[in-house]
């Protein structure tokens, strides 16, 4: 139990997927203008990332390892992730049309979110079992959502301030992202590893 808690805490805060591992930076900069869009993107990513972590673990242990096809890992994971995103979209459209309309354009964007592939590959690299992979994926997604929403809140406030002209727009966003990343370094003292 404690081990699972440590994985969740470690992936969500200490080794945050965006601010410490620098994965999934393009939705981080791209979909952080408004808080509600950030929440939508975060929810969709959480769903896909958790599913993709499980599915890629299954593909790795059931197909790639027994056949000795480790060199096809990236290719097959991308295939699995793309299929999961498409599947999620189809099912969600039928079962939760409201959510489908809210997430709309963000769902297909997740296929190219490198955090999804990155977490799937890290799971293999760190030799996680199925439950650990699931938690690792879910924790990373929680961290992604937290940071995305936090950053969107910061950017909403920044938009109202009088930023010096050379810094307005993307430059100040990059600077705040750097400061946020430094703030997250403080969590490094939370766990021994």
Using the contact rule CB under 8 A, the part of the chain among 6-14, 39-47, 72-80, 120-128 near another protein is 72-80
Among the candidate windows 20-28, 84-92, 113-121, 174-182, which touches another protein by CB under 8 A?
A: 84-92
By C-beta, is 75 or 179 nearer to another protein?
75
Instruction: Decide if residue 80 touches another protein (CB under 8 A).
Output: yes
Question: Where do we find the tokens 């990332």?
Answer: 49
Query: How many CB atoms within 10 Å of residue 13?
Result: 21
User: Interface with another protein includes 75 (CB under 8 A)?
Assistant: yes
Write the CB contacts of 22 (distance below 8 Å, at least 6 apart in sequence). none
Which of 5, 58, 90, 130 touches another protein by CB under 8 A? 90
Task: Tell me how far apart the alpha carbons of residues 51 and 123 are, in angstroms, rounded to a whole number.
Answer: 13
Per-residue interface string for the shown chain with another protein, residues 12-51, x marking contact by CB under 8 A: ----------------------------------------
Helical (H) or strand (E) element with 108: helix 106-109
Question: Which residues touch 125 (CB under 8 Å, ≥6 apart)?
Answer: none
């Amino acid at each position: 139990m404690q081990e699972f808690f440590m994985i969740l805490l470690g992936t969500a805060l200490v080794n945050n997927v965006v601010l410490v591992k620098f994965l999934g930076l393009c939705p981080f900069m791209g979909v952080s203008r408004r808080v509600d869009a950030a929440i939508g993107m975060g929810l969709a990513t959480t769903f896909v990332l958790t599913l993709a972590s499980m599915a890629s673990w299954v593909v790795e242990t059931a197909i790639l390892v027994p056949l000795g096809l480790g060199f096809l890992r990236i290719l097959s994971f991308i295939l699995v992730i793309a299929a999961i995103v498409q599947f999620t979209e189809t099912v969600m459209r039928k079962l939760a049309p409201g959510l489908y309309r809210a997430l709309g354009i963000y769902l297909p964007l997740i296929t190219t979110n490198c955090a999804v592939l990155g977490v799937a590959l890290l799971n293999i690299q760190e030799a996680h079992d199925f439950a650990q992979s699931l938690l690792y994926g879910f924790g990373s997604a929680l961290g992604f959502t937290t940071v995305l929403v936090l950053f969107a809140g910061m950017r909403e406030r920044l938009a109202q301030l009088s930023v010096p002209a050379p810094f307005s727009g993307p430059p100040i966003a990059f600077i705040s992202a750097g400061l946020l990343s430094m703030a997250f370094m403080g969590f490094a003292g939370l766990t021994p590893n």
